[in-house]
Amino acid sequence: MILLALALSLSLSQEGEVVVRARNKGQPQVPATMLVEPVAMFVAACDADGDGTTSSPELDACVAKSFVAIDTGNAGKLRYLAYADWAKRYLGDANALPSPFEVDRDNDDQITLEELQRHFAKLYTRFNKDGQPGISRAELLTFRTAPIDKNGPAGPPPRKGEKRPDGPPPGGRGRR
């Protein structure tokens, strides 16, 4: 009788051990997305000696070279329309930042080489996070841990108090 009771409790406890309950749904990890701003792309491309970092003189020379390439009439200044050409060629899009309004310090509707170099000198300081000479590729990367769009790769978060059916809701919205 005692032996039988012992055997029963053992089997019960074994049964209890094999029950593994998974959580309702795995929480997908939000990937860290690595991005490069258009202007950071420009700075990276200015690494003339290929050592992987863009020094301040490299950046200065590179900005001058790009300026001259657009300032074909050698006017020494770019009107906003010409600046848009510069941005399109070197930043990838005419509307990419920095905008001409940011760069045009004296607001005369023209961008001089000095204004452009000044602006890039400011950017150099901004990108140079470790304070060491030169901008490394790592310093030019932008990390985003938030989902890319509203629902992102992780999907929308479950709303408070919302009861989810076992499968994914067909519409996902407006169901109570």
Judging by DSSP bridges, how do beta strands 53-54 and 33-36 pair with one another?
unpaired
Name the one range near Ca ion by CB under 5 A: 17-25, 41-49, 66-74, 80-88. Answer: 41-49
Q: Is 133 in the site for Ca ion (CB under 5 A)?
A: no
Please, which residues have CB within 8 angstroms of residue 67's CB and are 6 or more apart in sequence? Answer: 78, 86, 113, 116
Contact residue for Ca ion among 40, 84, 104, 135 (CB under 5 A): 104
Q: Is 149 in the site for Ca ion (CB under 5 A)?
A: no
Is residue 107 classed as helix, strand or coil in its secondary structure? coil
The tokens of 144 are what?
């985003």
Q: Is 139 in the site for Ca ion (CB under 5 A)?
A: no
Q: Is 93 in the site for Ca ion (CB under 5 A)?
A: no
Name the one range near Ca ion by CB under 5 A: 5-13, 81-89, 106-114, 117-125. Answer: 106-114
Helix H or strand E segment including 77: strand 77-79
Measured CA to CA, the distance from residue 63 to residue 57 in angstroms comes to 10
Q: Name which of 33 and 56 has its Cβ closer to Ca ion.
A: 56
Residues at the site binding Ca ion, with contacts judged by CB under 5 A: 47, 49, 51, 53, 104, 106, 108, 110
